[in-house]
Amino acid sequence: MARQKSILKLEGSIGDVSFYKSGGEYLARTKGGVDGDRIKTDPAFARTRENGAEFGVAGKASKLLRTAFKAPIAAIADNRVASRLTTQMLKVVQSDTVHSRGERTVQDGDLGLIRGFEFNVNTGLEDVVKAAYSVTFDRVSGEASVAIDFSNPRLELNQVDGADQAQILIGLAAVDFENSEYEVDVVEAEAIAIDSTEAVVVEQTAAISANSTRPVFVIVGIMYYQSVNEELYLINSQDSRALALVAVDQPE
Collapsed DSSP state (helix, strand, coil) of residue 29: strand
pLDDT in tens, 200-250: 999 999 999 999 999 999 999 999 999 998 889 988 887 789 999 999 999
Whether residues 172 and 108 share a domain: the answer is: no
Range of the domain at 24: 1-32
Residue 245: inside a domain = yes
| 120, part of any domain | no
Banded model confidence at residue 5, pLDDT cuts 50, 70, 90: low
Looking at the DSSP assignment, which residues form a beta bridge with residue 173? 184, 217
Q: Of 58, 85, 66, 76, whose CA–CA distance to 184 is shortest?
A: 66
CATH of the domain at 224: 2.60.40
End-of-domain residue from the set 114, 135, 162: 114
Q: With 80 as the cut, is the pLDDT of residue 143 above it?
A: yes
In a domain, 181, yes or no: yes
Same domain, 133 and 157: yes
- Among the listed residues 116, 99, 121, 117, the one whose alpha carbon sits nearest the alpha carbon of residue 108: 99
Same domain, 71 and 7: no
Residue 89 counted as domain residue: yes
Q: Is 119 domain-assigned?
A: no
**How many Å separate Cα 212 from the centre of its chain?**
22
User: pLDDT tens digits for 20-53?
Assistant: 666 667 666 656 555 566 555 555 555 667 778 8
Secondary structure element (H or E) that encloses residue 72, with its range: helix 70-76
DSSP 221: E
Q: What are phi and psi of 122, to 5 degrees?
A: -75, -25
When the pLDDT of each residue in the chain is averaged and rounded to a whole number, the result is 87
Average pLDDT over residues 65-80: 95
Report how many domains make up the chain. 3
Q: What is the pTM of this model?
A: 0.81
Rounded to whole angstroms, the Cα distance separating 161 from 33 reads 51
Say if residue 155 is in the same domain as residue 215.
yes
pLDDT above 70 for 15? no
